[in-house]
Structure 1
Amino acid sequence: MPLLTTRRHHHTTTTTTAPRRRGFFGRYGATPRSRPVHTTHTPVVHHHQKRHATIGDKISGAFLKLKGTLTGRPGQKAAGTRRMHGTDGRGSHRRRRFF
């Protein structure tokens, strides 16, 4: 993967469960309506906007986290963690470049 690209993959998950086993001579039924429906969809999880954290983001986030630990400020420590993970919200507020 090139160095300055971002990943843009959105994964959704669907799971299906196997039908319950019957006895040796057991059947579901004569009509298709009596078959149990076993398709289950997992709910879609809306993640926070995540950008690709660069090496500089990881380093500055680690120092911010360390600073928050030493000064006893949990909010600053959490901000460092968010910067390291790319979930700090940078780049999410698009501004007009001119005017």
Structure 2
Amino acid sequence: MVHTTTYSTTTTTPRRHGLFSRTHKVHHQKRHASIGDKISGAFLKLKGTLTGRPGQKAAGTRRMHGTDGLGSHRRRRFF
């Protein structure tokens, strides 16, 4: 009995990336959270947990991590 092997080839075109397509992991700018930021963020998080407000809890987490928007977002300048 003779075994024959069949080969098939496929061609793929390289992926084109548009002007606004994001293919890499986005890095979020962080500011340096001070001890006061960490304490107030923890209390804000606790307050959100006790009052059942997940948005306030998330805001406390963002404040603790330094990603709450107070100088943590880059702004594009044209001049």
The answer to whether the 8 A contact 1:63-1:80 is kept is yes
Is residue 2:65 matched to residue 1:85?
yes
Between structures 1 and 2, the one with greater strand share? 1
Superposed structure 1 runs of 4+ greater than 3 Å apart: none
Q: Which has the higher contact order (CA 8 A, sep 6+)?
A: 2
> Where does structure 1 lack aligned partners over 5 or more consecutive residues?
1-42, 95-99
TM-score by length of 2: 0.59
Q: Which stretches in structure 2 are left out of the alignment for 5+ residues? A: 1-22
- For normalisation by structure 1, the TM-score amounts to 0.48
**Counterpart in the other structure of 1:67:** 47
Alpha-carbon RMSD across the aligned residues, in angstroms, is 1.8
Structure 1 CA distance, aligned partners of 2:58 and 2:27? 17
**Aligned residue pairs: how many?**
52
Contact 2:29 2:74 in 1 (8 A): no
In structure 2, do the counterparts of structure 1 residues 45 and 93 end up closer, same or farther at CA, with 3 Å as the change threshold?
closer
Determine which structure has the larger helix proportion and give its number.
Answer: 2
Paired with 2:39 and 2:74, the residues of 1 have a C-alpha distance of 23
| Identity percentage of aligned residues | 85
